[in-house]
Structure 1
């Protein structure tokens, strides 16, 4: 009887333990996604879009990460950890403060994005203003992100930085720093609290004595680019945030963007390479006999791997074709010393993000979504990266050849607040179950052996 019981239990445990890794590598999906995230892309919507989003409703950026309540004073500012994503809310006229502890050698980048609800009433100068301040109150960096148009509610934000120089200055040494996020708002604008998504990343220093080489041929920006016209167009499904941005590479990509919607795409750009992106907004069916146009009806904005604003372009839209473009200079570590702000921000290899926005008022001019064609061209030969003392991958710096090859116009798997993907979480659980099953088998084996010895002695 004991032998039979042990055999049945052992067989069951082996079955469960063996099924764990199999489930992690392609078994049934998890029953649901974490709160605030989506289980993945679906037809007509992007990964991370709200559950109510449909092909006729704009996708909405849902904030990710752990909740972090910003303080009103520097002394109470909650600590941010490098590589982590956080969410908070901010009211009109409010300033939220967050603490960042920095060493004397690493460079730091802290980003914040305000996420007003679709249809929120906003004015030209509404938005957020970021500051990075040292312990003695010195301002290390400041950036602003405003809508720059009435009624154009969309995600707005950028990143501030502290570039370490190894010195002992107020913003160059180790110590406690504060990220300050202030919301500007006109009296007649939306007065409801807005969600914030915040992130802080750390870039390791170069090895002692190492110098950064400038990009081959020098870094340029602002020239007249030429759009890519050869190649078969492929479908793309833009995400609603940085986390769900669709990965695309050199080629022609087609998508559709609804009025009031912002879609995100990411392009891998390695050391020594530059990139040009054209966004062609095609004609769309007019509503009645509309002849007017929407000023700044369409936008194309580029961001660096650390979510810092790089460049942007906007134009009017009336339902007739129009085109926008943005150009990244060749990537080089040495770009950070450039006096050209666009060049200065293209200082590391990685995924560069491109956001395509359509003004909500375009819905009064055309029916349905606006067809968009993205013409992406990455130029230049990839070069070896600078000699970092540590792995810059945690800051999103660097390009993985496998990820580049897999850039097919779709969004990545949803990630949790800890940065672990849903498939990785499932794999961890499965291997944990496998380990537990193995342990139970060992315990049963010891118990069964002891029982047999007692029976023999009896």
Structure 2
């Protein structure tokens, strides 16, 4: 609110019924300001958190019905859009002829949506001639639980590939994957575009043939409390160690792990035991890993019968530029340094058998091998430093604060928004209380 000092000038004396009318008008105005300052939305009003919190700086964009009216996306920018129940929507990326490019699409069904195992999204990238550069699909699987899922499209420039190397406009196509029973509801989308510059000097053009694929002994002991974020932009930094949090059925928690070149990640999510043993919840716990461009790497799941259960990612190679030449997508996705995202979801099915919780979640993270020098880029990524790990990133992972580099500012922005929203409403109510006391004293003195 803009402060108006004229409210507090005592020069004018009130007479008759004027103080009552004035008080009523000012009270109504202040309450209106207080309501506007508080966070809004039905989820907050009902006491239930949103299934996903979008980046505070996400720009609204509407996907086009065809390539001709595709909405432009700028690398380094986050967007908020929507996906209809049927048909495809189009976005445009204008690219040079040297950089690799990635666009991640996060789909967010509304809480309470009815989903089937085959429901999901597909992202395709095509060049100006209609040739496919990439195509990827992700579905919700057996859990049938509404949660954010992300799929990326890529434009890789490689000596082994002759397509998609020219500068110009590229078509990003997003569409639903559905079954005959699927509900035709609209899903929210968050899009994040990234470019990666070429190397100063060309290196290996094949993936490492051997790497340590043994599963290390898991970390033991009680974990440190570290509540997860509600989206990629608000992901909470963690490093090697055990981290605990409460999680309710239907919730998705986001964490990010800074990984240098040469570092190898192992992660396990554990769901604590329940006091009851009421049946069997299929696909209760899901642990997914996404790379710094929000590209899907791998996931693991666990059923739940009331006893302690865990979902553990299969061994992944150390972070290396050459991983992009691997034949399998889970290995290819471990292609750059930066913040990798661990996303944990607890299915709504758990509530049907074991109540609303909360349940205890323990995330165990282990990092192997020493950090290595990077491949040496010939330019800057967009956004800047998204494929690097800074000292502040490491400190934030150890302390649980907000890290530097790309994506780190999202945590701070969300915190500012939350504090400013609640603070403004609280301040207005305090001012209202003070005004009432002063007004009563004035009326009594007349």
Same fold, TM exceeding 0.5? yes
> Which residue of structure 2 aligns with residue 384 of structure 1?
373
- Gap regions ≥5 residues in structure 1: 1-30, 40-47, 427-458
Would the aligned equivalents of 1:114 and 1:157 in 2 still touch at CA under 8 Å? yes
How far apart are the structure 2 equivalents of 1:157 and 1:92?
17
Match of 2:217 in 1: 226
**Bigger RCO of structures 1 and 2 (CA < 8 A, at least 6 apart):** 1
Name the residue aligned to 1:118: 111
| Deviation (angstroms), 1:152 | 1.2
1:251 maps to 241
Q: Is the 8 A contact 2:236 2:256 kept in 1?
A: yes
Q: Does 1:318 align with 2:318?
A: no
Q: Normalized against structure 2, the TM-score is what? A: 0.77
For 2:212 and 2:343, locate their aligned partners in 1 and report how far apart those are by CA, in whole Å.
22
- 8 Å CA contact retained: 1:107, 1:163: yes
Partners of 1:49 and 1:201 in 2: how far apart? 33
1:59: Cα distance to partner?
Answer: 4.4
Distance 1:337 1:49 in 2: 46
- CA distance change for structure 1 residues 192 and 413 in 2, over 3 Å: closer, same or farther? farther
Listed one character per residue, the Cα deviations across residues 116-145 of structure 1 (whole Å, up to 9, x for unaligned) are 111210111111111001111111100001
Supply the distance in 2 between the matched residues of 1:126 and 1:168 (Cα, whole angstroms): 31
SS at match of 1:111: strand
CA RMSD for the aligned pairs?
Answer: 3.3
Contact 2:115/2:144 (<8 A) preserved: yes
TM (normalized to structure 1)? 0.75
Checking the alignment, whether the CA contact within 8 Å between 1:203 and 1:395 is kept in structure 2 is no
Quote the Cα distance in structure 2 between the aligned partners of 1:421 and 1:224. Answer: 35
SS of match in other structure, 2:397: coil
Establish whether residue 273 from structure 1 lines up as the match of residue 263 from structure 2.
yes
Q: Is the 8 A contact 1:201 1:394 kept in 2?
A: no
The 8 Å contact of residues 104 and 166 in structure 1, kept in 2 or not, is answered as no
Distance 2:192 2:215 in 1: 34
* Residues 206 and 386, structure 1, Cα contact 8 Å, conserved in 2: yes
Deviation of residue 109 (structure 1)? 0.5
CA shift, 1:172, in A, is 1.6
1:410 is displaced (CA, Å) by: 4.4
The answer to whether the 8 A contact 2:208-2:322 is kept is no
Report the counterpart of residue 329 of structure 2 in structure 1.
341
- Provide the C-alpha distance between the structure 2 equivalents of 1:351 and 1:319, rounded to a whole number of angstroms: 33
Q: What residue number does 2:360 align with?
A: 371
Q: Quote the residue 1:298 is aligned against.
A: 285
Would you say the 8 A contact 2:249–2:347 is kept in 1?
Answer: yes
Q: Distance in 1 between matches of 2:194 and 2:412?
A: 19
Corresponding residue number in structure 2 for 1:442: none
Aligned length: 377
CA separation in 2, counterparts of 1:421 and 1:84? 17
Report the Cα offset of residue 53 of structure 1: 7.2
Give per-residue Cα distances to partners, 1:11-49, cap 9 Å, x unaligned: xxxxxxxxxxxxxxxxxxxx99x99x989xxxxxxxx99
Counterpart position of 2:73: 80
- 5+ long unaligned stretches in structure 2: 1-32, 418-446
Query: Displacement, 1:242?
Result: 0.7
Secondary structure at 1:86 match in 2 = strand
